[in-house]
Amino acid sequence: MRILVTGGAGFIGSHLVDKLMENEKNEVIVADNFFTGSKDNLKKWIGHPRFELIRHDVTQPLLVEVDQIYHLACPASPIFYKHNPVKTIKTNVIGTLNMLGLAKRVGARILLTSTSEVYGDPLEHPQTEAYWGNVNPIGVRSCYDEGKRVAETLMFDYHRQHGIEIRIARIFNTYGPRMNIDDGRVVSNFIAQAVRGEPLTVQKPGTQTRSFCYVADMVDGLMKLMNGNNTGPINLGNPGEFTMLELAENVKELINPEVTVTMTENTPDDPRQRKPDITKAKEVLGWEPKVVLRDGLVLMEDDFRERLAVPKKTKA
């Protein structure tokens, strides 16, 4: 099986590549422009006979012969997508059009990693796949939220009009090793701050909630969706819900009990609550997350310490 992973040098993409490469029947091609991804994430595969890395921006057409396409390419953290909102919406819209064009030409099945952001600041809690969302079309995050909504539309239009085999995953907050250290996402922020001995900055009011899924669980869900028979959309995430203050306290306790927790101003359009309803994933894919937050945070700490070159203090 020849498999293309766009955004395969990124955080989730590189973990997906690791898993796909475990199967000796797979040949994996990664296309990435390294805007937020890193070659470092793929270093163990470079030079492997079943692996190919192409520096490519998905807003340009790509001609490769493949059986499956995992389309993950897109900056997924507010710092990156607000830095270049036009590029973000181009990646979501033109990038998805190009990958659908490729899928149509070569008869490949294509999976889009959409996002819980399609639900916006939800008026329903928890969110099921039937919820249409509450999204600001002209806010600073809209390039990402609306970009992914259009990408979903394109997927279904190609499916209905051209018979393309599509899969859509709506992924909720995911964390784990290889996250960008200063990407503005809350888990990476807190862990980097705790490792560096800096105060943990919680955005006000601190009672806003998120649910966090460990990256190995997420990759398992994506592969089950790709190889199953349901088009989706299917929510993939961990329904365990934490307030930002609870998350900060967990990080503090597990990683550096000496740091303080401080409050800062929030960003506009920050959703108050985010929690997936994963009933469909359980029923259709037989999938649910296995790694609990406290275990996942510790696995992430080791990776961050290595990259920040801050060893653990030895107990006297």
Report if residue 183 sits inside a domain.
no
Confidence class for position 314, pLDDT limits 50, 70, 90: low
Tell me if 224 sits within 8 A of 286, measured CB to CB: yes
- Cα(267)–Cα(103) distance, rounded to whole angstroms? 37
Q: How far is CA 189 from CA 103, 239, 293, in A?
A: 37, 21, 15
Report if residue 120 sits inside a domain.
yes
Report if residue 181 sits inside a domain.
no
Mean pLDDT of all residues in 135-157: 94
pTM of the model: 0.94
* Active-site hit among 81, 144, 158, 175: 144
Residue 311 vs residue 234, higher pLDDT: 234
* pLDDT tens-digit readout, 22-55: 999 999 999 999 988 999 999 999 999 999 999 9
Report if residue 305 sits inside a domain.
no
Report if residue 295 sits inside a domain.
no
Report if residue 310 sits inside a domain.
no
Q: Is the pLDDT at 313 greater than 80, yes or no?
A: no
Report if residue 254 sits inside a domain.
no
Mean pLDDT of all residues in 175-204: 92
Q: Please name the amino acid found at residue 306.
A: E
CATH number of 121's domain: 3.40.50.720
Report if residue 196 sits inside a domain.
no
* pLDDT tens-digit readout, 199-230: 999 999 999 988 999 999 999 999 999 999 99
Q: Which of 170, 141, 172 is nearest to 155 (CA)?
A: 170
Confidence class for position 76, pLDDT limits 50, 70, 90: confident
Told to judge if 131 belongs to the known catalytic residues of this protein, a careful annotator would answer: no
Mean pLDDT of all residues in 139-162: 95
Q: State the residue range of the domain holding 33.
A: 2-174+214-236
| Average pLDDT of the chain to the nearest whole number | 94
As given in the structure block, the two tokens for residue 5 are 């992973």
Around Cβ 22, how many Cβ atoms within 10 Å?
Answer: 8
Mean pLDDT of all residues in 134-152: 93
- Cα(248)–Cα(260) distance, rounded to whole angstroms? 10
* Residue tagged 């805007």 (tokens): 35
Q: What is the DSSP letter of 139?
A: S
Number of separate domains in the chain: 1
- Cα(40)–Cα(58) distance, rounded to whole angstroms? 20
